[in-house]
Structure 1
Amino acid sequence: MTTTRQNGSLYTSLQNNIATIEFGHPASNSFPSELLNRLTKELNSISENDAISVVILKSEGEKAFCAGASFDELVAISNLQEGEKFFTGFANVINAMRTCGKIIIGRVQGKTVGGGVGLASACDYVLATENAAIKLSELTIGIGPFVIEPVVKRKIGLAALSELTLDATNWKTAYWAKEKGLYAKVFETVKELDEEVEILASKLASYNPSALGEMKKVLWENTQNWNELLAERALVSGKLVLSDFTKKALSKFSKK
């Protein structure tokens, strides 16, 4: 079942110390600002909940995992304040995932673009299907993946980030993403993926929550400056989205 709500949907279910967050949007599970804000608040709330040890992050349906930020909102940006606010949405989610005291498992069932790649990169452990190809297409519209760059580079390294960013029109396969370290395992079917996610989450939930919390801190060492860094990057993207190049590129996409 996929949502038809214009601002998307976000549901959290709790079972056996595991919180499963499921997001959805009719436009290939993309994120309007309101949905990004809801996800940020949910992650911050879960971080404070002692009854939760592990988080599973997933999206609705069996097709796209996440198409990134809302295209409609991107097109509608008319000034720097709006631009900065728009790109701050993903910055806030990444920082909430980074500072959440729980291990986050990403369940990636399909194609992932732009901010969706950032979302997957911010998970602590990602399982995917072979349909979970990735692409960073931001340069094609005159901007760049500046807000998500730190989290993607942290996961796959500078060389792979460079390849992914500069080859902006081509998809990289799920097996490429696994080879570079974004995905831990890749499965042929969604059924296999879900079984493995459940097994892993159950194992993690049986471990000492304090040890998991300390491990989370270790995994995210040297990222304490990201609140400021990602805010700076949001401003860079906010300026670029107002450029003539980007306005023309977006108008072409809008007409397709």
Structure 2
Amino acid sequence: MDEPQPPEIEDILAELQEDARGRIKEELLPGERLLWAARSEQDPFRVSGYVLNLVLLLSFAGGSVILFRQVGLADRAGPPRNVDLLVALGVVCGIAAVISGIFLLSSLKGAINTRWTRSQHLYAITNRRVILRTPTFDRQGIEVRAIDLHTVGNIHRTEYPGRLGTLTFSVEGPGPKPSVVDPEHGVVEPFDSYRLEKIPDIRRVELLLRQTAAECRAQRADAPAPRDLA
């Protein structure tokens, strides 16, 4: 019987958008074969997390409008009574409404930034390496990390609903660990582990990573040692 052929690169990239396909292809080395590629799945947008801020904003804004309306009615009705108190309460409610609006806009902006950042996470597994494309700390650029499969150590799986999950794996072997510079603080932090965050078909990808990493280690173990040059 003929052995099953590995899937074609276009079949693997079929579910990715055109720009992501091009970025993955650009990272492949000559002779390297793509086995899997995917983008991080975005978390669903949950309106429930902003209901309280929205209720507070509308309540304070409505209260401020009602209080200032009462001030106008009091001025037309005759000699002002407690107008200063109504004005003070209206101002307080207006300030509270502005603060609530700022918090709401800040929360929405943070959620949008998080979703955009997650959408830029792109991962691939080849017959040689694990490739991770992720935004930099300041979101001004893209950082590409490539980890040789034979250095992949322990693998940990975290599962989420919908067959999504995160794979965390350590890097083993001699030599310095890969590192990254924090653009805000300028600190070089060594990476002892890497994460493929919120990827689909998590169990299938975990099995693929374990098998290909084991095959690479076996190939390196069977490879003849290089001879010393005279």
The two structures have a TM-score, normalised by structure 2, of: 0.21
The TM-score, its normalising length taken from structure 1, stands at 0.19
Higher relative contact order (CA 8 A, sep 6+): 1
Greater helix share, 1 or 2?
1
